[in-house]
Chain A
Amino acid sequence: MHNSCSMKKIIDFLVKENRQLNENMFLLSLYSEELPSLRPGQFVNVKVEDSPATFLRRPLSVYDVDEENKLLFLFIKIAGAGTQRLSRLKANERLNLILPLGNSFSIPQKGRCLLVGGGVGIAPLLYLSKEMHKKGLTPDLLIGVRSKNDIVLEDSFRQYAQLYYTTEDGSFGEKGYPTQHSLLANQYDHIFCCGPEPMMKAVAKYAAARQVDCEVSLENLMACGIGACLCCVTDTTAGHKCVCTEGPVFNIKDLKWQI
């Protein structure tokens, strides 16, 4: 993992567009002249206004960055009151963000790479694919969803990666979970994964069994996002570590997962 040293800022972004992707997923485009440099795997902490049930900020992965036009893209799935409120944002509203936060995925110089995303866990994988693509790598990207209707942003991902799907109901791609996909018969050099914890553990188990280097992005509950409250810890071989500052990306060899 790559550790961040860049200065954190509190910035008011301007909502340029809120594009609905399906009934519970949407893509926010945010503009700020002060947009800092961001790396794949990093996240932002979003202040949710006018939502009485939402007290804390909401940590969200960086989906994509357009440095030239100073745009930041966030891929969001409605999960509760906070994301519900964000889903109703309109163009020209302001959104207060703290960024850049957390470490980032390590982008290998060479080798065969597999990216595995489940549900909203695809959020950090577009920017990761894009940065890999810039280095001449074309990763395989395996996305697991419940059903065909949950497939979004396919064309965006296809620009930078070879795309494969599993659906739980078999309505698209191969039926089952990502770890059941025929792609996994291949030998990879690096695996990167973000999704529900059971999925990440299954991928970690696969990687560990084949001694493949594997990084996962955790999404523990957070309060501050800057390493002050120590709420979001995960257990590692070196003790409790904050997911917000020493993660969210961890190499599975450092985690104490029972896999």
Chain B
Amino acid sequence: MADLNVHLKGLDLKNPVLTASGTFGYGSEFQDFIDLSHLGGFIVKGTTLNPREGNPYPRMAETPCGMLNAVGLQNKGVDYFITHIYPEIKDISTSVLVNVSGSTVSDYIATAEKINELSHIPGIELNISCPNVKEGGMAFGTRCSSVSEVVKAVRQVYHKHLMVKLSPNVTDIQEIALTAEGEGADSVSLINTLLGMAIDIKTRKPRLSTVTGGLSGPCVKPVALRMVWQVAKVVKIPVVGLGGIMNAEDAIEFFLAGASAIQVGTANFIDPAVTIKITEGINDYLDKNGFQKIQDIVGLI
């Protein structure tokens, strides 16, 4: 049994397998399939200051080796999370992070301040990369100046682990990551979904109500892996890799590229128990190849 413990600045995980925000609900949806305490952690869905209904149906289109979604951050708002969800999940023996999103910098600040008060939430994932909202979201994550502004502002009010989730829809992912690091991010997670679209040629209409949406699944993995590798080369903070991880082999590629931990997203839809299999597979790989601990394979490329 290899040592799977991961220490991201101020955030200790029992193993490097997290679940990606928006693909794992609030964890309870998966309790019939897995023991949540066996996860390194899970990241609850994008939470905003005020409730959001999200985008109109249709919000999803299956595409080759993946899918597009345009959910648009449907959630009941941070206050509902604190009163109704938090009491249900706070005692689960794993690290629960909250994905924080917003339309304005002041929204991000207000939400982060509220989450900061929750003693059982050891960190947030700052979502500056959602491609499915008209205001905010990805708009913050695609220019260094706005990345700087929002990360700096949240850093001032949020005192636990601050993970910043990066958008792949940029020309130079390294400068975005360096900006987040410079403003005090404790880690960066990447990639959020790639902006894409699909058209129904029978109706000659877009398949999504919003026309464009976020692409995820194994089709994005090579892009994600490349970006994780590029970012890990230049930042000193830990990198959390995600994008199309379907099995342990995929996860190991991300560690080799420089990720200290990984997130499993879309794969949860096809196999709700996949995270446990991935954790076991990582351990088997380390054992078979004579590595004592997960850190030994991080960034070997």
Contact = CB atoms under 8 A, between A and B. Distances in A.
A235 to B, nearest CB: 7
A227 B270 CA distance: 13
Q: Which of A7, A223, A226 has the most CB of B within 10 A?
A: A223
A110 interface: no
Interface stretch (A14-22, A24-32, A48-56, A165-173): A48-56
Contacts of A232: 57, 60
Interface stretch (B29-37, B166-174, B183-191, B232-240): B29-37
B108 interface: no
A229 B66 contact: no
Nearest to B265: A229
A254 to B, nearest CB: 15
Contacts of A136: none
A47 interface: yes
B270 A57 contact: yes
A153 to B, nearest CB: 28
A193 B59 CA distance: 24
Contact of A55 (B25, B59, B217): B217
Contacts of B268: 224, 228
A53 B64 contact: yes
Interface string A55-89: 11100000000000000000000000000000000
A223 B67 contact: yes
Q: Which of B63, B217, B270 has the most CB of A within 10 A?
A: B270
B269 A224 contact: yes
A9 B32 contact: yes
B25 A8 contact: no
A221 to B, nearest CB: 5
Contacts of B32: 7-9
Interface residues of A, number: 30
Chain B contact residues, majority secondary structure: loop
A93 B239 CA distance: 42
Interface residues of B, number: 34
A231 B64 contact: no
Contacts of A230: 22, 45, 54, 59, 71, 74
B1 interface: no
Contacts of B30: 226, 228
Contact of B59 (A54, A98, A231, A239): A231
B23 interface: yes
Given A226-B272, A228-B25, A230-B74, A55 B57 contact: no
Given A9-B32, A56-B269, A229 B57 contact: no
Interface in B218-276: 266, 268-273
B65 interface: yes
Interface in A1-44: 7-10
Interface string A149-161: 0000000000000
A228 B217 contact: no
B88 to A, nearest CB: 14
